[in-house]
Amino acid sequence: LDLQNTYYKLEESLKSLKERYEDLLPYQNLSVNQARLENLRFSSVTLGYITKEKYDTFKGHMDTMDAYVDLLSSDDQFIYVSILIDKDQSQRLSDLLESLDFRVEPTRPFDKTNVEVIGDFKKEMDALNSEMKKIVEFFESSSKDLGALKLLHDQLLSKDNKHQITLLNTETTLYV
């Protein structure tokens, strides 16, 4: 029962870690650690994504605001970017992004680059998967052992075979 609870806890940890990993994956090309983005003196950095259909409109607005846009990655639906702008333009940018249905991602207080954090996440997920595999193997082994014991028990109780079974007993093993 303890192993089963341990397995479920590992499974929940893996699920949570995988969600964080997948959220971070589109931003793996961000070349600085995200903790540094919080303390910029004269600029602010916004991370997020926008649909591919609205990207050209978004890019045009960014050019008029003198914002630097770094395309980090894209998938079938979205383009993931970082936006660097003067701090005094932050509220105007925020309003504009909201009108374009731009999804802002919170910066994370990582002291490593995203590539390093993603690598750490992979290692941790591999370790969790390994622990879960050990527990599954234990249960499979125990299940086989229980099946063999049940078969032996049934044979011993069987009236037809009662006289056909001979037991040989050593200190550690019972042979039939």
Q: Is 41 helix (H, G, I), strand (E, B) or coil?
A: coil
Q: What is the DSSP letter of 49?
A: E
What was the pLDDT predicted at 138?
81
Task: Report the residue count for the chain.
Answer: 176
Tally Cβ neighbours within 10 Å of residue 164: 9
What was the pLDDT predicted at 1?
63
* Segment-wise mean pLDDT, segments of 10 residues, the chain, 176 residues: 84 92 89 78 90 94 90 94 91 92 84 85 92 85 70 63 56 56
- The Cα-based distances of 142 to 134, 150, 172 in angstroms read 12, 12, 18
| Digit-coded pLDDT (tens) for 90-106 | 899 999 999 999 999 88
Instruction: Identify whether the C-beta of residue 67 lies closer than 8 Å to the C-beta of residue 93.
Output: yes
Residue 123 C-beta-side C-alpha neighbours within 13 Å: 6
What was the pLDDT predicted at 35?
74
Question: Has this prediction a pTM greater than 0.75?
Answer: no
What was the pLDDT predicted at 3?
80
How far apart are the C-alpha atoms of 70 and 65, rounded to whole Å? 15
